[in-house]
A and B are shown apart, each in its own frame.
Chain A
């Protein structure tokens, strides 16, 4: 479906790789990314998690062509049609399996899922993907990926604004923490996205409202549930003063068991996965905007649950103080969906710090490179707010065109 004669869009560097690949797939423009960590002597080229993401992209699309350079520092991607978990294209019984290898354990599952959620509404058939493997981490990671609870409770509800809300599901079958050296993660997540649309609705989100409730999930994996209680108590101690309607739920699960990789003489042997605890907080405003925070215990341990709870609460307060209708980790999602909408001007109030963040600035440049109209900015109603006007591309779902 891609035009071979279409000129390649050229990018450099390893940063923003996932979002560039997503934009390429959504717009149908082939891209060439060069100089991927070309100067690094130890980790040259694509990292394992990036390769895993490209493989995932390959399995949910039909007709994509991916070419790597010899050293892995150059990538040419010609996108195909987004087919989702279509039968006969890698999916068995309607479920696509994606195993994340243990080399990918630096990034959480949301590294894969947030871009995937962007592709899913524009697919031809529903997304139904099962993530497994020793590199599948559901908790927040130190590399900045939010936990899967945050994705489910703070980012997925935003899709409702675009008219995508039917039966979206993220089933956390097994929780897992970021592993320390030598350990494995071994989480299991079932991602179901059955609502496909022609065009996302035009969004006008200008009034952030005020925070009316705070919810959260405290998770303890392979450690005592009292860690949860302590983290919750500390977080509530900070937040109760501001919002009395604060409730944090506790989820205690055992450490996942994984087939032992080292013991070659015992094939049925199992090892215990990583242990730890963490906290995901979500504040909801009166107008349906979400702010979230995520803290997890570091892989090597050494933090008390009280510190985690307190840090999570302060982080949430910081996110709220940045203002705007969309927080930083969800801004990419919302802005891309707006850019893929109908040829209409959508408006979104964002906090200044959110607009000024590296991801958002680079996203604006990338969208222009992919042929989108530039964004318009003007001052918002509040002091720290900027209203971003985004014109949609008006192409929408190519796979749904005929339907």
Chain B
């Protein structure tokens, strides 16, 4: 970098001495030699930097900003400025920031609230970092959003397809045009299915309270229907899904607070049943089930 800079400096020093004369309107009728030289310099400059306008550039730039205009005028005044030389290093550049109003004059509202609240301000006020991912998501907003929307619609359609097919079948209703949206009771059914897939314990259609006999009849009818279905399938050689066996609820042994962890404490003695002993020793369970069951039964 340094050698190129030095080269540039050398070029401008010589060039500007002459170009300053050339720029002045008095020397408009200049000889061809100097023009050639200027051309060479300009080409060299343009190879390094942006192509530059020759005549009207200064007036264009200086118009909007007054401060720069003043600087430009100063530059024009000492027209024999010859690049960056060793003499220029002696001068001290003074930059004054005297204006108190700046762009970031106002603090964020959160910071103001933190300082002006009734509490003593904490020394570390965290400026809330702006979530960058939201901006990224916003960039490809239209496509991403539409994809998501379509995906949801497709899932709903798949879930409701059997409801729709029964609705659109000619036997169910008289309308000829098949619809893709559910209405009425079928919509409620769809919602129920969705709820169950999301983890609802029971259907919203199950009645909470009803006469016991009715409930029993419904349950027995349901098991009957299920059995018939399984029997038919077996006869026809169709493989069905595995039967779900409802686990019987086994009540845990109720232990009192401060009572023994194992056995029964009665009359000042800890009584261990055979099963407790088997649990502790952990061996020879097989073949003893019958006797054990009898024993416990007898004791009670």
Contact = CB atoms under 8 A, between A and B. Distances in A.
B26 to A, nearest CB: 46
Interface stretch (B48-56, B112-120, B138-146): B112-120
B119 A236 contact: no
B123 A168 contact: no
A249 B120 contact: no
Contacts of A167: 119
A170 B120 CA distance: 8
Given A240-B97, A249-B116, A215 B121 contact: yes
B121 A157 contact: yes
Nearest to A234: B100
B107 interface: yes
Contacts of A190: 118
10 contacts: A156-B120, A157-B123, A168-B120, A169-B119, A190-B118, A215-B115, A217-B116, A240-B97, A247-B111, A249-B107
Given A247-B107, A249-B112, A172 B118 contact: yes
A170 B118 contact: yes
A237 interface: yes
A251 interface: yes
Contacts of A160: 120
B100 A157 contact: no
Contacts of B107: 247, 249
Interface string A246-262: 01010100000000000
Interface string B73-111: 000000000000000000000000110110000010001
A40 to B, nearest CB: 38
B118 A240 contact: no
A65 interface: no
A43 to B, nearest CB: 36
Interface string A159-178: 11000010111111000000
Contact of B116 (A157, A159, A165, A251): A251
A402 to B, nearest CB: 30
Interface residues of B, number: 15
B110 to A, nearest CB: 13
A378 interface: no
Contacts of B97: 240-241
A160 B120 CA distance: 10
Q: Which of A170, A233, A247 has the most CB of B within 10 A?
A: A247
Contacts of A385: none
A399 interface: no
Contact of A240 (B100, B111, B116, B119): B100
A63 interface: no
A121 to B, nearest CB: 14
Given A169-B118, A217-B116, A233 B123 contact: no
A210 to B, nearest CB: 14
Interface residues of A, number: 26
Given A249-B107, A249-B112, A251-B116, 12 more contacts: A157-B120, A157-B123, A160-B120, A168-B120, A169-B118, A169-B119, A170-B118, A236-B100, A237-B100, A240-B97, A240-B100, A288-B123
A326 B82 CA distance: 56
Interface of B: 97-98, 100-101, 107, 111-112, 115-116, 118-123
A41 to B, nearest CB: 44
A35 B249 CA distance: 88
Given A237-B100, A240-B97, A240-B100, A249 B118 contact: no
A153 B100 contact: no
Contacts of A247: 107, 111
Nearest to A236: B100
Contact of B118 (A171, A237, A288): A171
B121 to A, nearest CB: 6
Contacts of B98: 237
Contacts of A171: 118
A251 B112 CA distance: 11
A237 B98 CA distance: 7
B121 A168 contact: no
A288 B123 CA distance: 7
Interface string A130-169: 0000000000000000000000110011011000010111
B112 to A, nearest CB: 6
Contacts of B116: 217, 249, 251
A247 B111 CA distance: 10
Contacts of B100: 233, 236-237, 240
Interface in A216-248: 217, 233, 236-237, 240-241, 247
A284 interface: yes
A239 B234 CA distance: 93
Nearest to A239: B100
Nearest to A168: B120
A126 to B, nearest CB: 15
Given A241-B97, A247-B107, A152 B112 contact: no
A356 to B, nearest CB: 28
Nearest to B116: A249
Contacts of B120: 152-153, 156-157, 159-160, 165, 168, 170
Interface string A105-149: 000000000000000000000000000000000000000000000
A236 B98 CA distance: 10
